[in-house]
Amino acid sequence: MPVTEIDLDEVLRGELAENVERKDFLPSEIEAIRRAMLPAEKAAATSRKVSGRSAPAGAGETRDKIGAITGVSGRTVEKIAKVVEAAERRRRDDAAGHAHQGSRDPPVRRAVEAD
């Protein structure tokens, strides 16, 4: 049985590594990965900017890195984020009792079509 060793200090990457060799990630899982990785990626980018260093060779946008890890394109990661944000916004509005305009054309669909 093949064994993969990982650095346990990188818990996030460790959790991801144990799930990579399985079924495709669900959009909700991709969004959870994006949200978990985003703070570390932003901190690294800020640190590079402050120190005057440029991004290492082969470094791309965070969405592309997450897409490569999860098996989808960076653009798909971005679309998933927009759909989830629109669904969360609608859920908050529903909880607050706000009516929706054009209930036949929900905000989730409009967020994706706007691209």
Residue 6's pLDDT band (boundaries 50, 70, 90)?
Answer: low
- What is the model's pLDDT at position 44? 84
Domain boundaries, the chain: 11-113
- What is the model's pLDDT at position 24? 85
User: pLDDT tens digits, residue range 57-104?
Assistant: 666 788 898 998 889 999 999 999 999 999 998 888 888 877 666 555
The residue written with tokens 């079924």 in the block is 23
For every residue of 32-78, DSSP letters joined together read HHHHHHHHHHHHHHHHHHHHTPPPPTT---HHHHHHHHHTS-HHHHH
On the question of pLDDT at 36 being above 80, the answer is yes
- What is the model's pLDDT at position 9? 56
16-45 mean pLDDT: 84
Token code pair at residue 26 = 């669900």
